[in-house]
Amino acid sequence: MAETFKIIPLIPVTAKPAQAYNELDVPRDHGQFVADTLQRPMRDLRISVTDRCNLRCTYCMPREAFDENHSFLPRAELLSFEEIERLAKLFIRLGVQKIRLTGGEPLLRRGIERLVESLARLQTKAGQPVEVALTTNAVLLSKKALSLKDAGLSRITASLDGLSEETFRRMSDSNVPVKTVLDGIAAAQHAGLAPVKVNMVVKRGVNDHEIIPMAGHFRNSGIVLRFIEYMDVGCTNGWRMDDVVAAREILEQVASRYPLRQVDPNYMGEVAERWCYADGGGEIGVIASVTQAFCHECTRARLSTDGKLYTCLFGSSGADLRAPLRMGSNDRILTNLIAGHWGQRGDRYSQIRHAATEIPREKIEMSYIGG
């Protein structure tokens, strides 16, 4: 049956006393799917569970900006697991089917398995279990893979930008051995979190010489390697278009060594374009967020570490859900805040990037908003 999408009337999202929120005249029927101004439903929720990280990838948290003087959020500012679970239930009522825990580095958040367990118990509006996934740099994954699986995690994506120690060090600005990450990925596979995906951000002149070695390494392993175009998220990574290696170029490189064949998407709106090795050696993906924007089918909402709702990775401001939550607002009010914010969404940054980058603009950092 075709789903109906309904925009719930907008109500203000600025902080108010709880009583004011609860007295707002909002419709009782808040259990609807919502669509934004471009008719995009809300299907995925990315939750940043911490803004901290044990790596300093130059394209995400460059050490110059994220050094000992950087103010990470104090503990009291973070949403608690109970608060996350409560908000997640409301997002699900509005159509969310998949939740991804991210950050920062989500495995740094103590007791993350407890959160996974509570989210994995939730059901979509159609009565299906909500899919709970997690993106990690895999540094702590060897220790955590089994307990995450036991807690009900559906899928895991690990990030790895090169196989040689030198490349990995240059990209992650850390002394963590590559083997630690590879062991983490292997542990996830053994724990049954298959198919494990591995994200590789490609930066021209830094790690593009590792495209073929990475493809060779993960071929025939059951792991899906995904090449990601380097994006201009945040304001600290000094992004330049010249540093981007386009997905087409990446595919050409891989195909020159290992012939490829394109595969249909798994579902509508899948961000990675899927390709298979012609000899049956498995699958790879490319995420062309810069050169082939997919804003028209973007169904992702993001909840920042301190409980702000962002409707685009390149957003500059979010709707505060934590203040009304902590002031005792009821579910109806919170649901309408979320729906109202989504209902007025018109984001399509990647489609208008060139115009947008000419205008200086504050963009939120990925580690805080959730990558």
Name the site residues for ligand SAM (rule: CB under 6 A): 53, 59-60, 102-103, 105, 135-137, 159, 199, 201, 228, 230-231, 233, 237, 366-367, 371
Q: Report in angstroms how near the CB of residue 229 gets to ligand SAM at its nearest.
A: 7
Residue 50, number of CB atoms within 10 A of its CB: 23
Q: Which of 94, 323, 367, 368 binds ligand SF4 (CB under 6 A)?
A: 367
Structure tokens at 98: 């998949």
- Binds 32: which of ligand SF4, ligand SAM, none (CB < 5-8 Å by kind): none
Residue 102 to residue 116: CA distance in whole angstroms: 12
Residue 113 to residue 53: CA distance in whole angstroms: 18
Q: Report in angstroms how near the CB of residue 210 gets to ligand SF4 at its nearest.
A: 16
Q: Per rule CB under 6 A, is residue 313 in the interface with ligand SF4?
A: yes
Residue 126 carries which side chain, given as an amino acid letter? A
HSE (side-chain half, CA atoms, 13 Å) at 314? 20
Q: Report in angstroms how near the CB of residue 111 gets to ligand SF4 at its nearest.
A: 19
Q: Which of 42, 60, 145, 254 binds ligand SF4 (CB under 6 A)?
A: 60
Q: Which of 13, 49, 53, 325 binds ligand SF4 (CB under 6 A)?
A: 53
Give whichever of 109 and 149 is closer to ligand SAM, judged by the CB atom. 109
Residue 280 to residue 174: CA distance in whole angstroms: 35
Q: Report in angstroms how near the CB of residue 363 gets to ligand SAM at its nearest.
A: 11
- 224-229 and 197-202 as β-strands: parallel, antiparallel, unpaired? parallel
DSSP lists the bridge partners of residue 22 as: none
- Binds 298: which of ligand SF4, ligand SAM, none (CB < 5-8 Å by kind): ligand SF4
For ligand SF4, what does the binding mask look like between residues 80 and 119, x meaning CB under 6 A?
A: -----------------------xxx--------------
Q: Per rule CB under 6 A, is residue 349 in the interface with ligand SF4?
A: yes
Residue 186 to residue 217: CA distance in whole angstroms: 13
Q: Per rule CB under 6 A, is residue 162 in the interface with ligand SF4?
A: no
Give whichever of 60 and 130 is closer to ligand SF4, judged by the CB atom. 60
Residue 367 to residue 79: CA distance in whole angstroms: 15
Give whichever of 176 and 212 is closer to ligand SF4, judged by the CB atom. 176
- 283-287 and 224-229 as β-strands: parallel, antiparallel, unpaired? parallel
Give whichever of 18 and 271 is closer to ligand SF4, judged by the CB atom. 271
- Binds 237: which of ligand SF4, ligand SAM, none (CB < 5-8 Å by kind): ligand SAM
- Say if residues 61 and 32 touch (Cβ distance below 8 Å): no
Q: Which of 13, 45, 57, 334 binds ligand SF4 (CB under 6 A)?
A: 57
Give whichever of 26 and 200 is closer to ligand SF4, judged by the CB atom. 200
Residue 348 to residue 76: CA distance in whole angstroms: 33
List Cβ<8 Å contacts ≥24 apart for 250-253: 250/202, 250/211, 250/286, 251/275, 251/286, 253/211, 253/212
Residue 280 carries which side chain, given as an amino acid letter? G
- 260-263 and 224-229 as β-strands: parallel, antiparallel, unpaired? unpaired
Q: Report in angstroms how near the CB of residue 106 gets to ligand SAM at its nearest.
A: 6
The DSSP H or E segment spanning 283 is strand 283-287
Chain residues in the site for ligand SF4 (CB under 6 A): 53, 55-57, 60-61, 103-105, 137, 159, 293-295, 298, 300, 312-314, 347-350, 367
